[in-house]
Amino acid sequence: MNRANRHRDQHALSGARGAVDIEGAATAEENLLKVRPQRWRKWPDATLGVVVGGTLGEIRERQEFEAETLSPLSDDDLRGMLTAAIRLLSVRRALLVNLMYYSGLRAAEVTALDVGDVSAEAVTVRGRRRRTIPLPVELRPLLESYLRVRAERPGVAENPAFFIDACGRRVPPASVNGLVQTFGILIGLPGVSARTLRKTYAVNLLRTGIDLDEAAELLGHASSDATRAYLANRPIGRMSLPLSG
C-alpha cells in the first residue's frame, strides 16, 4: 500500500472513537504506555485497511467489556484505601491516590496538571474538554502538606508540573497506574487501578443525586450517553458523599 494510503489509515486510527467514546482517552493512554509498543502484524493476504478495521473492532470490544466489568470500590474499601495512603505513603504519593478519587481524573490528566491548575477548591483540566472539578475540604490538609514539601525541592520554581518525581521530572501516567495497583495489592485490594478510582468517583457522583449531563461534564465524557454506557450494569444507590478520607 502506498504512503498516502498508509497516512490516511494511520490518521483514521489515531482519531478513532468508540460508538459512545467510552474512556477513549484513557484507553489510548494505556496502550501507549505499555512496556513494549504494539507493532503492526504483517498479513500477506490483507491490506493495511483491513488490519486497521480489525484493530479498531478489538478496541471497541475492550472498551465495552471494561465498561461492564470494571467494578467500583465499596464505601469501606474506599475509605480504607484513602486513609491507608495518608498513613503509609509519602505525601506526594498519598495525594496522588486521594486526588485520583476526589477529582475522578484519568491518570494522564492528573500528571498533566500544572501548579496553576490546582487550588484548594478545585482542579482545572485543560485540553479538548476543558473543565473545572471542585475538591472537597477533606483533601485540603494533604494538598497543603504536599505544596510545602514541593516548595522545598531545589529548582522547583522553574518547574510548572504539579507532580514531580524524585529527579524533578513530571510524573508519568504509567507511574500513577503502577502506584495505585501496587498499593492496592499491599493493602489487600488486588485488581484496583487508577481507573477503579475514577469509576468509583463516577458512581458516587450519581449517588449524590446529580444528573447525567453534569456527571458527563465532570468526567470529561463526550455526552451523557457515554456516561450512561460507562456506568452500565452498576446499580446506583443514594447516600451523602463525597466520603471523607
Going from the C-alpha of 151 to that of each of 84, 85, 94, 147, 198, the distances in angstroms are 25, 21, 17, 6, 28
Going from the C-alpha of 193 to that of each of 173, 174, 212, the distances in angstroms are 12, 11, 24
The pLDDT value given to residue 64 = 54
Instruction: Give the chain's domains with CATH numbers.
Output: 3-69 (no CATH), 75-230 (1.10.443.10)
Return d(Cα 231, Cα 90) in angstroms, integer.
Answer: 32
The pLDDT value given to residue 63 = 53
Q: Phi and psi dihedrals of 239, rounded to 5?
A: -160, 175
Tell me if 224 sits within 8 A of 212, measured CB to CB: yes
The pLDDT value given to residue 6 = 52
For every residue of the chain, DSSP letters joined together read --HHHHHHHHHHHHT---TT-TTHHHHHHHHHTSSS---PPP-TTS-HHHHHHHHHHHHHHHHHHHHHH-PPPPHHHHHHHHHHHHHHS-HHHHHHHHHHHHH---HHHHHT-BGGGB-SSEEEE-STT-EEEE--GGGHHHHHHHHHHHHTSTTGGG--BSSB-TTSSBPPHHHHHHHHHHHHHHTT-TT--HHHHHHHHHHHHHHTT--HHHHHHHHT-SSHHHHHHHTTT--------SPP-
Q: Which amino acid is at 18?
A: G
Would you write out the chain's pLDDT as a tens digit for each of its 245 residues?
445 555 555 555 555 544 444 445 555 544 444 434 445 455 556 666 666 666 676 666 555 545 544 789 999 999 999 999 999 999 999 999 999 999 999 999 999 999 999 999 999 998 778 899 999 999 999 999 999 999 998 888 889 999 999 888 999 999 999 999 999 999 999 999 999 999 999 999 999 989 999 999 999 998 999 888 888 755 444 333 333 33
Please return the burial class of 179, using the count of CB atoms within 10 Å of its CB with bins 0-12, 13-18 and 19+: buried
The pLDDT value given to residue 187 = 96
